[in-house]
Structures are given as structure tokens and as C-alpha cells.
Amino acid sequence: ELKVEQNPLFLSMQEGKNYTIYCNYSTTSDRLYWYRQDPGKSLESLFVLLSNGAVKQEGRLMASLDTKARLSTLHITAAVHDLSATYFCAALFVMYSGGGADGLTFGKGTHLIIQP
């Protein structure tokens, strides 16, 4: 059974600072997703990471994947208030042995507050 652990679960930081959210997963997975969720809203896709060493960047957010360590990170550079949200990582796994059906197992989320 695939388990996904995120840390920290809660993070309060000041604007302009850098920080990293960590995502560990317990068994082999060949795809790692990062999502953002604003209060009362659905999930917004941020990144999909496919291979070892993959790095993707969008604005002040950068995600990376180390499949050997089963670790993904989401790095925030020079945080701004608009990045306040809950961030989820999710790992893909095969649910149906007949093939074709994959599921996402989610971490518990990191509630990020960025203060002016």
C-alpha cells in the first residue's frame, strides 16, 4: 500500500523568505503530482514530475523529484502573500491489476500562510 507523507503540515512564514515542503512516498511510483488548493475551492494542478531528477519551475515555485530516495520537494522562493494556500503532493499507483487504472494517493497537505 502506497503511503505519502508531507511535512510540515503547517507553515507560517514571512514574505520574502524561502522554504521547502517535503513529500515522501513509501513504494515505487513513476509519477508525482503537486496541487494547490485555496479555501473552499477545488485542486489546481501545479506540477507533474515523471522521472528521477526531474525539476520544474513556475514563478516562485520549483518542484523536484528523487525517485531513488522516494522524495519530492516543493521550494518556494521569495514568498509572497498570494502563495498562501494548502499544497498537496500525490503519488500515482496502479490500482487495477488488469492495467489502465491508476489512482492518486495524497499527502495530508501543507497549510501555508505567508504574512506580510
Partner 1 sequence: DVKVTQSSRYLVKRTGEKVFLECVQDMDHENMFWYRQDPGLGLRLIYFSYDVKMKEKGDIPEGYSVSREKKERFSLILESASTNQTSMYLCASSFPRETDLSWYFGPGTRLTVL
Cell of 88: 498537496
Looking at the Cβ atoms of 64 and 105, the one nearer to partner 1 is 105
In angstroms, give the least distance from the CB of 8 to partner 1.
13
Say how many C-beta atoms besides its own lie within 10 A of residue 74's C-beta: 23
Cell of 109: 497537505
In angstroms, give the least distance from the CB of 41 to partner 1.
7
The number of helices, as runs of H, and strands, as runs of E, in the chain is 0, 11
Looking at the Cβ atoms of 15 and 44, the one nearer to partner 1 is 44
Rg of the chain over Cα atoms, rounded to whole angstroms, equals: 14
Residues that bind partner 1 (CB under 8 A): 9, 31, 33, 40-43, 45, 48, 50, 88, 90, 92, 95-96, 98-109
Main-chain dihedrals φ then ψ at residue 16, nearest 5 degrees: 90, -15
Looking at the Cβ atoms of 2 and 79, the one nearer to partner 1 is 2
In angstroms, give the least distance from the CB of 34 to partner 1.
12
